[in-house]
Amino acid sequence: MLTIWKQKHKLIEIDNFERNCWVNVTNPIPEEIDRLIEEFRIPEDYIRDILDADERSRTEAEGRWLMIIIRIPVFRTDNGIPYITVPLGILISPHSIVTICLYENDVIRSILYPVKTKAINLENKINFVLELFQRSSSQYLKYLKDINLRTNQIERDLERSTKNKELQNLLRMEKCLVFFITSLKSNEMLLQKLQRSRFASSEELDEDLLADVIIETKQAIEMSQIYSDIQAGLMDAFASLISNNLNVVMKQLTSITIILMIPTLIASFFGMNLHNFIEDSQYGFVSVVVGSLLLSIIGVLIFRRRQFF
What secondary structure does DSSP assign to 15-31, as a single string? SS--TTEEEEEES--HH
Assigned architecture for domain 2-245: 2-Layer Sandwich (3.30)
For residue range 224-252, what is the model confidence (pLDDT) as tens digits? 999 888 887 777 777 677 677 777 777 77
Residue 131 has pLDDT above 60, yes or no: yes
Of 121-130, 207-216, 245-254, which gets the smallest average pLDDT?
245-254
Of 69, 181, 77, the closest CA to residue 129 belongs to: 69
Of 19, 302, 53, 58, the closest CA to residue 179 belongs to: 53
**Domain ranges, ordered by start, for the chain:** 2-245, 246-305
Is 52 within 8 Å of 129 (Cβ atoms)? Answer: no
Amino acid symbol at 159: E
Cross-strand partners of 83? 75
Which of the four pLDDT bands, split at 50, 70 and 90, describes residue 270?
low
DSSP annotation of 163 reads: S
Is 190 within 8 Å of 108 (Cβ atoms)? Answer: no
Pairing of strands 10-14, 2-8: antiparallel
For residue range 1-44, what is the model confidence (pLDDT) as tens digits? 888 888 877 788 888 888 888 889 999 898 989 988 888 888 88
Of 88, 55, 58, 43, the closest CA to residue 197 belongs to: 58
When mean pLDDT is compared over 150-154, 202-206, 213-217, the highest value belongs to 213-217
Q: In whole numbers, what is the pLDDT of the chain averaged over residues?
A: 81
Distance from chain centroid for Cα 32: 31
Cross-strand partners of 59? 68
Of 126, 134, 110, 136, the closest CA to residue 206 belongs to: 126
Is 121 within 8 Å of 113 (Cβ atoms)? Answer: no
Which helix (H) or strand (E) segment holds residue 161: the answer is: none
* 3-state class (DSSP) for residue 116: coil
Taking only Cα atoms into account, the Rg of the chain, rounded to an integer number of angstroms, comes to 33
Q: What is the mean pLDDT of residues 61-73?
A: 89
303 or 231, which is more confident: 231
pTM attached to this predicted model: 0.75
Of 60-64, 99-103, 184-188, which gets the smallest average pLDDT?
60-64
Instruction: Indicate the angle between helix axes 207-272 and 125-158, nearest 10 degrees.
Output: 20
Of 10, 15, 16, 51, the closest CA to residue 30 belongs to: 51
Instruction: Determine how many CB atoms are found less than 10 A away from the CB of residue 286.
Output: 10
